[in-house]
Amino acid sequence: MKVAVLTTETTHHAYFVRELARAADVEQVIVERRSAAAPFPTHHPFENERDAHESRTWFDGERAAIRDIAPTLEVDGVNAPEAVAALDGLRPQVVFVFGTGRLLPEVIRACPNGLVNLHGGDPEEYRGLDSHLWAIYHRDFSGLVTTLHRVNEELDDGEIVLQAAIPLRREMPLCELRQRNTEVCVNLAVLALDMHARHGEFLSRPQGRRGRYYSFMPAVLKEVCRERFESYTSRLE
């Protein structure tokens, strides 16, 4: 089965590609270099702790690069002509999207039945960006799930293939949440590949409701999230 990944260059995406490559033949990774930026401050110190934690946990503190793991094409944007040409040439049966910008129709047409997105959250409640943080902000800890859904021309609107809760532990700090989410993403991707191999397609269900769209979370609200999340996990059994 030909598998491709559309993503960006981060430690957690490198981990995802590495683990996926242990379960399948990842023949092409298309890495989007350019990403959108908010017109206000979004960075919070917990994100530095998060990055260091992920590097230690998965790569023994070493820098990880996707190009050292699988064949990689770097493009400014995931909808660039060279990205579309690469997908058209490869003709993959499955494409995993993890952390890129919105896909245009020409990319979707390259793999219309096998294109699935890993969304950190429940798209029936939270679409868009920073979904887990927005769930925490609203004290919706049941919303800390990971969803694998089909990709269509609407953002985070495609039929749901698989979904799983993120495992939390007592006194878990916020800087560990993305690690746990990414590990769930790997599990869902492997299960989805098995589903596709067994059935020749992804089994899926329509979303029951259209979740609210959220954009970047401001840095000041991330501190509120850190406090609420760590207060919540301090009470877990």
**Could you report the per-residue pLDDT of 88-101, keeping only the tens digit for each?**
999 999 999 999 99
From CA 12, how far away is CA 45, in angstroms rounded? 18
Structural domain harbouring 90: 3-233
**Could you report the per-residue pLDDT of 102-120, keeping only the tens digit for each?**
999 999 999 989 999 999 9
**Could you report the per-residue pLDDT of 202-213, keeping only the tens digit for each?**
999 999 999 999
Which CATH number goes with the domain that contains 21? 3.40.50.12230
Put simply, whether the predicted model's pTM sits higher than 0.95 gets the answer yes
**Could you report the per-residue pLDDT of 22-70, keeping only the tens digit for each?**
999 999 999 999 888 899 999 999 999 999 999 999 999 999 999 999 9
Q: How many domains does the chain have?
A: 1
